[in-house]
Amino acid sequence: MPISTNVFVRSTTFLLVVAFLALATIVGTTIYLVENNNYWFNETTASRVARAVTVNVRNALQDAETGQRGFMLTQDERYLEPYEAALSEIQGYIDRLEEVLAPYAEANTIAPTLRGIIDNKLDEMGQTIDLVRAGRVSDAIDIIRTDRGKADMDQARALFTQVIDAADTRTLEGLENQRNSFIALRFVAVLGGLIIFAFVGGAAWTVVTYNRELSAAQREVAAANAGLEERVRERTSELGRANEEIQRFAYIVTHDLRAPLVNIMGFTSELETSVGELSGYMADRPDDGDPKFADAKLAATEDLPEAISFIRAATRKMDSLINAILKISREGRRQLRPETLDLKQIAEATVNSVQHQIVESGGETRIDIAVPRLVTDKLSIEQVLGNLLDNAVKYRQPDRPLHLAIRAEYAAGNRIEIEVQDNGRGIAANDHERVFELFRRAGTQTQPGEGIGLAHVRTMVRSLGGDITLRSELGVGTTFIITLPRDLRSFLGSQSA
């Protein structure tokens, strides 16, 4: 059964998540085991150091005792060399032993006790050696026969044995725990590797199967659409010709409409002149009481002038609409001229054209152009920015200063994005698309216009290969977003192709 996209996404996601959890578990367990192994390694090392220092203290004390005995038997100073060497080392060994045993509360009293015992033993040794040197050998032997030194030595040996045994036990325990940690670590690594291999293998199998089916589907689509590109090219060419025909038709229609409109406007002027003379004549003629005269006078002085004013307003409106259609039609037929432009310079020039109106309102303008160069039609981009700034000034909020901002930055797909932002009266959400329709205006109309400005802007932007949208909130302001290709020539080239 073929694998659908949803099944593929769900299955691969599940397998990868499980593999990730397994990996996280392995990593966590490995870290724990490594830390545990490191702890026991440190404990084993400390135990070995404690044992070695204890043995050093014991050996030094035994060397001192050996030197003492040799000297007493021979009265030869050479036999005191082990004794002298031990004296220079014992205190350092005791200090080191005290430092090593400090972390262990149960052994805190051992080093001080040993220090006292060893000091007593060394004191006893020193007395006997001094007596022998003074020729009082019998007095020295009497001190030895008191067994005070032997008792100190026996007590010291017992403590040495206690520390060494405890260190050996701790060392064996540490080695055992390290071995167990290594075994556990190896088991976790092997098991985790098998789990990860299984799930990643499952995910890889799913991906390979899905890609195989996707490739087959793509080949089918390619076979089915072998002639699609040519058909699209033909339809595009037909659409272009149809668009040219529509523009030509609009131009012809509006041009042909102008002739009868001019006649209507001319005859309206003549009629207005005649009605003026008639109205003046009827206004000066006295009323003779004839009801028909009163009706005629009313028609000549009020009804006809009012009707002519309506005709005059309608013809002016129709004339402006025809001009608007002609303007858009001519713009659609104008040959675009791509050239490298300084977008920041164009924005600044456009702002300067309305700067006096912005300053009068106490407002300001910010320009932030991160696109230094753009290849497009200069006249079109100037008209687009000019129309948007004119609209911003025309529909500003009268109770606050006007703030305008023009920004530009690079966008995806080798395009740029231009934003024109104002804090004007804003556009209601249901009118966001309507404002781009020809002869359609949104909101309360307090300014004259035919509703062609934004329609003209959209036409020009689309002729440049881009599009225009807006973000707006009623009473807050509006931001127009224009997307254009960075190089108009590439767009025109694709259109020609």
Give yes or no for residue 87 having a pLDDT over 90.
no
Question: Based on the domain organization, do 348 and 327 belong to the same domain?
Answer: no
Give yes or no for residue 259 having a pLDDT over 80.
no
Give yes or no for residue 24 having a pLDDT over 90.
no
- The lowest-confidence range among 97-101, 307-311, 404-408 is 307-311
Question: Based on the domain organization, do 291 and 345 belong to the same domain?
Answer: no
d(CA 65, CA 183): 48
What average pLDDT score do residues 60-89 get? Answer: 84
- Which CATH number goes with the domain that contains 365? 3.30.565.10
291-327 confidence digits (pLDDT tens): 776 667 677 677 777 777 777 766 776 666 666 666 6
414 phi-psi bin (left φ>0, alpha ψ -120 to 50, beta other): left
Residue 78 lies in a domain: yes
Residue 150 lies in a domain: yes
Q: Predicted confidence band at 158 (pLDDT cuts at 50, 70, 90)?
A: confident
**Percent of the chain surpassing pLDDT 70:** 78
Give yes or no for residue 186 having a pLDDT over 60.
yes
Give yes or no for residue 237 having a pLDDT over 80.
no
Domain boundary residue, one of 298, 333, 368? 333
Residue 391 lies in a domain: yes
466-494 confidence digits (pLDDT tens): 999 999 888 889 999 999 998 888 877 76
Q: Predicted confidence band at 416 (pLDDT cuts at 50, 70, 90)?
A: very high
Question: Based on the domain organization, do 389 and 419 belong to the same domain?
Answer: yes
Give yes or no for residue 26 having a pLDDT over 90.
no
Give yes or no for residue 245 having a pLDDT over 60.
no
Domain boundary residue, one of 183, 210, 237? 210
Residue 215 lies in a domain: no
Q: Quote the pLDDT of residue 232.
A: 47
Residue linked to tokens 């090392």: 45
- For the chain, the domain total comes to 3
Give yes or no for residue 400 having a pLDDT over 80.
yes
Give yes or no for residue 61 having a pLDDT over 60.
yes
Strands 477-485 and 403-411, bridge-based pairing: unpaired
Q: Predicted confidence band at 418 (pLDDT cuts at 50, 70, 90)?
A: very high
Q: Predicted confidence band at 38 (pLDDT cuts at 50, 70, 90)?
A: confident
Higher pLDDT, 213 or 231: 213
Residue 223 lies in a domain: no
What average pLDDT score do residues 400-408 get? Answer: 91
Question: Based on the domain organization, do 453 and 343 belong to the same domain?
Answer: yes
d(CA 335, CA 463): 10
Question: Based on the domain organization, do 179 and 282 belong to the same domain?
Answer: no
Q: Which helix (H) or strand (E) holds 252?
A: helix 228-284
Residue 328 lies in a domain: yes
Residue 219 lies in a domain: no
Q: Quote the pLDDT of residue 407.
A: 94
Question: Based on the domain organization, do 403 and 342 belong to the same domain?
Answer: yes
Question: Based on the domain organization, do 412 and 375 belong to the same domain?
Answer: yes
DSSP assignment of 50-112, as one string?
Answer: HHHHHHHHHHHHHHHHHHHHHHHHH--GGGGHHHHHHHHHHHHHHHHHHHHHTT-GGGTTHHH
Domain span holding position 9: 5-210
* Cα three-residue angle 360-364-365, rounded to 5 degrees: 125
DSSP assignment of 102-129, as one string?
Answer: TT-GGGTTHHHHHHHHHHHHHHHHHHHH
Question: Based on the domain organization, do 269 and 384 belong to the same domain?
Answer: no
- The lowest-confidence range among 123-132, 432-441, 443-452 is 443-452
Phi, psi of 142 (to 5 degrees): -60, -40
Domain boundary residue, one of 333, 356, 391? 333
* Predicted TM-score of the model (pTM): 0.42
